[in-house]
């Protein structure tokens, strides 16, 4: 039964309205790193992201913001990107966008 709890689709709560562009982008990133649509599904990686999400869940953050922090933590933990690399890329984007 625990396996079904992870893989079974759950209804989307639309109480806060339709997903925003940002929500959809974060969902796409999670899909890409855990291989849910293309390539092998990495159950351990998805579970780790869920564990990080639980750590970052906060009523002052949106659902997508908490997932974004979880994705960042997974990428750092797996050695895909370092904290420094992520910060440098964010600085570059901020500079490009003028903010």
**How far apart (Å, rounded) are the C-alpha atoms in residues 45 and 32?**
11
In a domain, residue 29? The reply is no
Q: Name the domain count of the chain.
A: 1
Let me know if residue 61 belongs to a domain: yes
Domain assignment of residue 93, yes or no: yes
Residue 32 lies in a domain: no
Each residue of 18-72: pLDDT tens digit? 888 988 898 888 888 777 655 666 777 778 888 888 888 888 888 888 888 888 8
Q: Is residue 69 situated within a structural domain?
A: yes
Nearest alpha-carbon partner for 34 in 86, 69, 62, 75: 75
Max Cα distance, the chain (Å) = 49
| Domain that includes residue 83, residue range | 53-99
Within a domain: residue 95?
yes
Q: Is residue 57 part of a domain?
A: yes
Q: If pLDDT is split at 50, 70 and 90, which confidence band does 6 have?
A: very low
Task: Specify whether the CB–CB gap between 53 and 66 falls below 8 A.
Answer: yes
Distance from C-alpha of 96 to C-alpha of 24, rounded to nearest angstrom: 22
Dist CA 20 CA 90 (whole Å): 21
> Is there a domain that residue 35 lies in?
no
């Amino acid at each position: 039964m625990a396996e079904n709890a992870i893989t079974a689709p759950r209804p989307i709560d639309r109480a806060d309205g339709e997903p925003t562009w940002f929500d959809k982008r974060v969902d796409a990133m999670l899909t890409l790193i855990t291989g849910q649509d293309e390539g092998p599904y990495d159950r351990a990686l998805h579970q780790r992201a869920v564990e990080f999400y639980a750590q970052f869940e906060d009523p002052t953050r949106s659902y997508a913001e908490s997932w974004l922090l979880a994705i960042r933590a997974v990428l750092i933990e797996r050695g895909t990107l370092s904290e420094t690399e992520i910060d440098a890329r964010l600085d570059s984007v901020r500079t490009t966008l003028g903010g």
